[in-house]
Amino acid sequence: MKNGVIQQSLSGFYDVLADNKIYRTRARGNFRAKKIKPMVGDHVDFQSDNQQEGYVLKVHPRKNELVRPPIANVDIAIVVTAVKEPEFSTNLLDRQLVALEAQNVKPIIYFSKTDMLSDDEVRYFNDHIVKGYQDIGYDVIFHQPAFDESVKTKLMAGLKGQISVVMGQTGAGKSTLLNNLSPELNLATGEISQALQRGKHTTRKVSLLNVNQCLIADTPGFSSYEAFDMTDVELSHYFPEMLSLSVNCRFRGCLHLKEPGCAVKNALADGKIMTSRYESYQMFHNLVVNQKPKYNKEK
Summarize pLDDT for 250-276 with one digit per residue, the tens.
999 999 999 999 999 999 999 999 999
Is residue 128 part of an annotated ligand binding site? no
Distance CA 132, CA 261 (A): 24
> Is residue 69 situated within a structural domain?
no
- From 76-90, 156-170, 247-261, 284-298, the region with the lowest mean pLDDT: 284-298
Is residue 229 part of an annotated ligand binding site? no
Is residue 132 part of an annotated ligand binding site? no
SS3 226: helix
Is residue 171 part of an annotated ligand binding site? yes
- From 4-13, 171-180, 215-224, 258-267, the region with the lowest mean pLDDT: 215-224
SS3 215: strand
Is residue 188 part of an annotated ligand binding site? no
From the list 131, 134, 14, the residue with the least C-alpha distance to 70 is 14
What was the pLDDT predicted at 187? Answer: 61
Summarize pLDDT for 29-64 with one digit per residue, the tens.
889 888 899 999 999 999 999 999 999 999 999 999
> Is residue 66 situated within a structural domain?
no
What was the pLDDT predicted at 198? Answer: 37
What was the pLDDT predicted at 206? Answer: 75
What was the pLDDT predicted at 175? Answer: 80
Answer whether the bond into residue 61 is a cis peptide, omega within 30°: no
Same domain, 211 and 238: no
For residue 117, give its domain range: 76-225
Is residue 112 part of an annotated ligand binding site? yes
Question: Residue 199: pLDDT band by 50, 70, 90 thresholds?
Answer: very low
What was the pLDDT predicted at 196? Answer: 38
Q: Could you tell me what percent of the chain has a pLDDT over 70?
A: 87
Distance CA 169, CA 80 (A): 8
Q: How confident is the model over 159-186, as a mean pLDDT?
A: 82
Is residue 232 part of an annotated ligand binding site? no
Domain boundary among 225, 256, 277: 225
Is residue 256 part of an annotated ligand binding site? yes
Same domain, 99 and 181: yes
Same domain, 102 and 221: yes
Domain of 81, CATH number, reads 3.40.50.300
Is residue 75 part of an annotated ligand binding site? no
Is residue 174 part of an annotated ligand binding site? yes
Is residue 169 part of an annotated ligand binding site? yes
Is residue 214 part of an annotated ligand binding site? no
> Is residue 242 situated within a structural domain?
yes
What was the pLDDT predicted at 192? Answer: 42
Q: How many domains does the chain have?
A: 3
Beta-strand ranges (E) seen in 99-256 are 106-112, 139-141, 163-167, 206-211, 214-217
Report whether pLDDT(178) > 90.
Answer: no
Is residue 153 part of an annotated ligand binding site? no
Same domain, 191 and 206: yes
Whether pTM > 0.75 for this model: the answer is yes
> Is residue 299 situated within a structural domain?
no
Is residue 219 part of an annotated ligand binding site? no
- From 14-23, 179-188, 227-236, 283-292, the region with the lowest mean pLDDT: 179-188
Cβ burial of 26 (10 Å; 0-12, 13-18, 19+) is middle
Same domain, 50 and 9: yes
What was the pLDDT predicted at 299? Answer: 43
Question: Residue 218: pLDDT band by 50, 70, 90 thresholds?
Answer: low
Is residue 170 part of an annotated ligand binding site? yes
